[in-house]
């Protein structure tokens, strides 16, 4: 029996691709597509391949009985999603970025009652980069300066990206730096020389760039660059659906893509 799926943020760039891939793969029964109140596409078919499922508002009654919910909406929209999942005992894959500490705490509390997978990036390759960046920083030691550059489309609201912050956090964990105190966001002015132990984080917003993340390790005499480029949003959508399928039936806990990919045991 196919898991029943609800997609939140259904009219967004990611939501549309998740719905389309879910229909193409045929591994889920899509029972709902949710959007924020007042969105101009509410009531229209979210995806031609999902048998006429329409977008509805957060204020409306979610379709009952979802086994798993995938949310790529906005920080403001997570309250409705988490509330629905708790009420229906649905698993939750949350890929929304820009969450503050209060929201993350609320998600952690919810994960004591339902399985929750929270990830700033559901791409398999990007999660490999998360791991590699931390390991490389530990191996290279304090003699290498570290800079993170992330590039996204002109419409992305939060900066730096959640993935850039995850990269920085992993590096801080493996090198004993304080997160986020060690981060420097861009540089300007006449007194902007690098301070030892800091990590530079820089954001580019231009055109229709899907997502590019680079981690630069540089010292006197050499530079090492780790890079991930997403060719399309299908990379993230496929990872999110893989995570959703994996999460159904798991015990309540807060999971990550590393758990899905079993990188923690390697």
Which are the catalytic amino acids?
152, 156
User: Beta partners for 254?
Assistant: 116
Q: What is the DSSP letter of 142?
A: G
- Find out whether 133 and 165 touch, Cβ atoms under 8 Å: no
What residues have CB less than 8 Å from 30, skipping those under 6 apart?
Answer: 5, 6, 7, 19, 22, 23, 47, 50, 51, 53
- Find out whether 254 and 116 touch, Cβ atoms under 8 Å: yes
Edge-first strand order for the sheet with 68-71 is 55-56, 29-34, 4-8, 68-71, 91-94, 115-118, 253-255
Residue 204 has a CB neighbour count (10 Å cut-off) of 15
């Amino acid at each position: 029996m196919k898991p029943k799926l609800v997609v939140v943020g259904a009219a967004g760039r990611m939501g549309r691709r998740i719905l389309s891939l879910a229909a193409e793969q045929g591994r889920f029964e899509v029972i709902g597509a949710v959007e924020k109140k007042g969105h101009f596409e509410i009531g229209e078919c979210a995806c031609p391949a999902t048998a006429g499922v329409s977008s509805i508002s957060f204020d409306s009654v979610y379709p009952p009985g979802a086994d798993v919910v995938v949310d790529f909406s906005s920080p403001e929209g997570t309250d409705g999603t988490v509330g629905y999942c708790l009420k229906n005992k649905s698993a939750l894959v949350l890929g929304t970025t820009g969450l503050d500490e209060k929201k993350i705490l609320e998600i952690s509390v919810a994960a004591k009652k339902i399985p929750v997978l929270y990830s700033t990036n559901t791409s398999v390759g990007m999660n490999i980069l998360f791991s590699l960046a931390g390991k490389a920083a530990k191996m290279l030691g304090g003699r290498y300066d570290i800079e993170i550059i992330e590039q996204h489309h002109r419409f992305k609201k939060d900066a730096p990206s959640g993935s850039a912050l995850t990269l920085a956090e992993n590096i801080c964990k493996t090198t004993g730096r304080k997160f986020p105190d060690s981060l420097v966001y861009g540089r300007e002015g006449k007194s902007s020389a690098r301070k030892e132990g800091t990590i530079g984080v820089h954001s580019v917003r231009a055109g229709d760039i899907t997502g590019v993340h680079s981690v630069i390790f540089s010292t006197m005499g050499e530079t090492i660059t780790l890079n991930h480029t997403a060719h399309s949003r299908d990379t993230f959508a496929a990872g999110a659906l893989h995570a959703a399928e994996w999460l159904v039936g798991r015990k309540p806990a807060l999971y990550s893509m590393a758990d899905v990919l079993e990188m923690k045991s390697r």
